[in-house]
Structure 1
Amino acid sequence: MDHEKVNILLVDDQPAKLLAYEVILKELGENLVVASSGREALEVLLKTEIAVILVDVCMPELDGFELAAMIREHPRFQKTAMIFISAIQVSDIDRLRGYEMGAVDYVPVPVVPEVLRAKIKVFAELYRKTRELERLNQELEDRVRARTAELENSTAKLRESEQRRSMAIAAGKMGSWDWDWISGDWMWDEGQYRIFGVGPESFEVNPANVQALLHPDDVDQLRKAIAEFNKGTRAYETEFRIVRPDGEVRWCVGTAAATVDDSGRVVRVSGVTVDITERKRAEERQNLLAREVDHRAKNALALAQSIVRLTRADEVKAYVIAVEGRINALARVHTILSLSSWQGAELSKLIDEELAPYSLGGQIILAGPEVQLLPATAQTLALALHELFTNSAKYGALSTRSGRLTIGWQVEDQLLTLSWEESGGPLVMTPKSRGFGTRSLLASVESQLGGQAQFDWRAEGLLCRLKVPLTRKTATAAPGKFDAPSSAELQRASG
């Protein structure tokens, strides 16, 4: 029989997301039908035979749960597969509500294209198989008078196949199995072997071997399932981990249902196993990212607050310029760190970013090897360099074309030594008091990074030397960890 295309209904109130789903699912070669609202979806269903419905949970006017309930009320759509897409973290209560409304699976946002295609493909194939089984059943019924015995046998097989199909819809079929409760014989399909990382030629399916592949902490799940069936439970679902022969740990969700004889005794248990490892990893990454964003935002706000609170100026305009310059320096290093996924930043890039506004040609000489800085160290040095460049442009070597600036750095025994040497500028005098820039530089380098900041106000130009450990624990506690210097630390540094 030629491959028969089926209709897949995509329901979302956002055109951009509908277009994304069409692009992802295009290669399946099925007919994609779109609806921008729940009411439009109902109109499509009344006119078109739909195999799978992909629906967004959060929609105005008529959300995904309400739409699913209305669809399930119609006799034609009581077995239509519906997959919910949710951009929010759903609770177990929400999942239960979705399943009660007729959902067969949840797909979290951001959508993984391969996973979405795999799920849709499974349900489309199940839909085709169901239609094929219905046609076959009709043919068998037409020959019931002549082949009663054969028909009964075929009907029993069709009933078992229908049971497996229903469970596959409930769990999102990836692998199926049967267990003869009386004889102890097992049957695994290809997907089941693939999930467990074994092959039928080398792996004998029996309780002992299956248990050996379960994660030690989840073995009790198997014992509990067997106990439940012995007590009369007819269906069971649980999440568990497996440890493949190569050592890889995979997360799975298993659904099982019991078949009983006329006396109510369990004679067979059939089930479906779904590999949900990628979903679990995506959830872990999402949770980690949320914590990272929260932490970095708080630190950035704390540092910006310190800048605003402690900056001093005689005029409002000068105050605004000083604050904007310091916050822009923080923003520039944030951009560099973002491009590296907050793994670190090159020292030379930080210097290039800070000297870019000056365009002073040959006045500045840079010399040093490539040095990769941790995020906390990069943020601190970016602000320190900004203060040095700003002061030099106002009062030092960079305030005149005759001035020269040499920036050199080296690393020895995980200690970064950076020297800032000015010459040829205006006559330099030791300042009577330290401004915010000098105080924050001292506090950040010494208190936050455990380094040293030395200033030599020579008449011919400032000489500054920064020594920063590259492996200090406070700088490596977590990616992006940075705490702004407190007022007390700044006061100590200014003393």
Structure 2
Amino acid sequence: MDHEKVNILLVDDQPAKLLAYEVILKDLGENLVIASSGREALEVLLKTEIAVILVDVCMPELDGFELAAMIREHPRFQKTAMIFISAIQVSDIDRLRGYEMGAVDYVPVPVVPEVLRAKIKVFAELYRKTRELERLNHELEDRVRARTAELESSTAKLRESEQRRSMAIAAGKMGSWDWDWISGDWMWDEGQYRIFGVSAESFEVNPANVQALLHPDDVDQLRKAIAEFNKGTRSYETEFRIVRPDGEVRWCVGTAAATVDESGRVVRVSGVTVDITERKRAEERQNLLAREVDHRAKNALALAQSIVRLTRADEVKAYVNAVEGRINALARVHTILSLSSWQGAELSRLIEEELAPYSLGGQIRLAGSEVQLLPATAQTLALALHELFTNSAKYGALSTRSGRLAIDWRVEDEVLTLRWEESGGPLVTTPKSRGFGTRSLLASVESQLGGQAQFDWRAEGLVCRLEVPLTRKTATAALGKFDTATSAELQRASG
């Protein structure tokens, strides 16, 4: 569904970096506004409604901290989301200073495109939803004022108001109430009882009982709201939480309007309560998703950095090909896992992705049942299979048309056994030393997954046997190792 575009302000004194940010963020479909200095950014802000500001910390004349302080001084921009980009190592003191200046997040350089897009998308969506809520609140205020006027004018208008209120109740998310300021009598409609999780038959509406259903942390702000009516305030709006009798916490937004007599004294307060719990939960899910994206991206980057650092080759071209191959293998399994929302991946799918460039003329035979792998296991096996295919294409059965490769697997007692058998290729001799690919395969399968890797260098072709535990307990432990110790394992494998 199309949504209204919001404006994202990109502030940096370097045109190349601004261009890079535009390329990264263009897929979001938002309006990207460019400013090459802090002063230019201030001019844009005064003329344009901005949802998110992406600003470089280090700029001449007016740096990111100073710009943030000036922006926060203006009432219009006190809640505008600002994300700092820093190309230098940011200390805790710098981060604290940035947050005091109004930053909501930091993005280090080099920028990870997926992470930057995810962060910007979250704040853009939050801005959009906030504007939608503001529009809804204005509509609610208008309806409350209209209903109050009808109550004072005639019984006929009261019926009309009741009919409209019944339509709101039917939606299941809204309730209304009236409070006689003079007598202290309360009136709740059906929607109000439903929101608070009580029934009209068993719940008496009075200040003490209502306060008992309010979240303890929100009682004071509602008391202050009531006091404001005594000071001349005629309408009030706030978000608050309630605790239902069954213990469930619900988020609400309340709008109230006062009715006064000829002398200006408050005689009645009417209000509307809207249950916004689902919106709040959606915001929490978005925040969680942003953190999960950040976590996955950091893990993938750490592994890619290890691959680049530890790959060895005698020639630049060979080095580039080796690095590209390993990173592409990681990217392929990442795509498969993303399609399953990181629930897992089928072993056969991993094998098919890796053999695609080599499956010519029926050289490769596969046999095995469907096996679902958890994310950590899938990532490790994908890299192991990539090394086997790469070595076979260079030196083994897949380096000649007469070569044959058979891959079969089975699962017994929660242990996956995969057999790789080559034949018909060049004459095989046992290598005097193991290359990085073989050593990293051994390290990943044995150290990260708690399995075993065995190599039989037969003259007619290599036979490799991999045994990997598939129990969730073992796989979960392996995931922790994969996230925190991948670089160390590969370092040991590189010798």
Q: After TM superposition, is the score higher than 0.5?
A: yes
Give the Å deviation of 1:461.
2.1
Q: CA separation in 2, counterparts of 1:125 and 1:300? A: 26
Q: CA separation in 2, counterparts of 1:434 and 1:86? A: 42
2:34 is aligned to 34
Give the Å deviation of 1:457.
2.0
Equivalent pair of 1:11/1:53 in contact (CA under 8 Å): yes
**SS of corresponding position for 1:199:** coil
Task: Identify unmatched segments of 5+ residues in structure 1.
Answer: none
Larger Rg: 1
CA shift in 2, pair 1:333/1:484, >3 Å: farther
**SS of corresponding position for 1:486:** helix
CA shift in 2, pair 1:29/1:156, >3 Å: farther
CA shift in 2, pair 1:320/1:269, >3 Å: same
Equivalent pair of 1:253/1:275 in contact (CA under 8 Å): yes
Per-residue CA distance 1:397-449 (angstroms, 9 max, x = gap): 22223322222222233332222222232222221222121122122222322
CA shift in 2, pair 1:152/1:128, >3 Å: farther
Q: Tell me the TM-score normalised to structure 2 length.
A: 0.60
CA shift in 2, pair 1:213/1:117, >3 Å: farther
Give the Å deviation of 1:391.
0.7
**SS of corresponding position for 1:59:** coil
Give the Å deviation of 1:471.
3.7
Q: CA separation in 1, counterparts of 2:191 and 2:402? A: 75
Q: CA separation in 2, counterparts of 1:482 and 1:206? A: 58
Per-residue CA distance 1:75-114 (angstroms, 9 max, x = gap): 9999999999999999999999999999999999999999
Q: CA separation in 1, counterparts of 2:371 and 2:120? A: 48
Per-residue CA distance 1:26-45 (angstroms, 9 max, x = gap): 99999999999999999999
Give the Å deviation of 1:282.
2.4
Q: CA separation in 1, counterparts of 2:199 and 2:227? A: 28
Equivalent pair of 1:302/1:484 in contact (CA under 8 Å): no
Equivalent pair of 1:415/1:467 in contact (CA under 8 Å): yes
Per-residue CA distance 1:54-73 (angstroms, 9 max, x = gap): 99999999999999999999
Per-residue CA distance 1:198-254 (angstroms, 9 max, x = gap): 777897756677567666876787778778879998766543344678987542122
Per-residue CA distance 1:266-308 (angstroms, 9 max, x = gap): 6533222122223212211221121122112211111111111
Q: CA separation in 2, counterparts of 1:450 and 1:208? A: 61
- Higher mean Cα deviation, 56-65 or 192-201? 56-65
Per-residue CA distance 1:444-473 (angstroms, 9 max, x = gap): 222322322222222332222222233455
* Count, aligned residues: 495
Matches for 1:169-208 after TM superposition, within 5 Å? 174-181=174-181, 183-189=183-189, 191-192=191-192, 195-196=195-196
Give the Å deviation of 1:360.
2.5
Equivalent pair of 1:306/1:484 in contact (CA under 8 Å): no
Equivalent pair of 1:439/1:493 in contact (CA under 8 Å): yes
**SS of corresponding position for 2:217:** helix
- Higher mean Cα deviation, 483-492 or 122-131? 122-131
Q: CA separation in 2, counterparts of 1:157 and 1:112? A: 59
Q: CA separation in 1, counterparts of 2:246 and 2:13? A: 45
Q: Percent identity?
A: 95
Q: CA separation in 1, counterparts of 2:110 and 2:172? A: 19
- Higher mean Cα deviation, 11-20 or 431-440? 11-20
- Higher mean Cα deviation, 89-98 or 193-202? 89-98
CA shift in 2, pair 1:338/1:166, >3 Å: same
Q: CA separation in 2, counterparts of 1:163 and 1:95? A: 54
Give the Å deviation of 1:187.
2.9
- Higher mean Cα deviation, 152-161 or 71-80? 71-80
CA shift in 2, pair 1:292/1:391, >3 Å: same
Per-residue CA distance 1:366-395 (angstroms, 9 max, x = gap): 222212222222111111111111111111
Per-residue CA distance 1:92-147 (angstroms, 9 max, x = gap): 99999999999999999999999999999999999999999999999999999999
CA shift in 2, pair 1:18/1:431, >3 Å: closer
Q: CA separation in 2, counterparts of 1:220 and 1:190? A: 26
The answer to whether residue 381 in structure 2 is matched with residue 366 in structure 1 is no
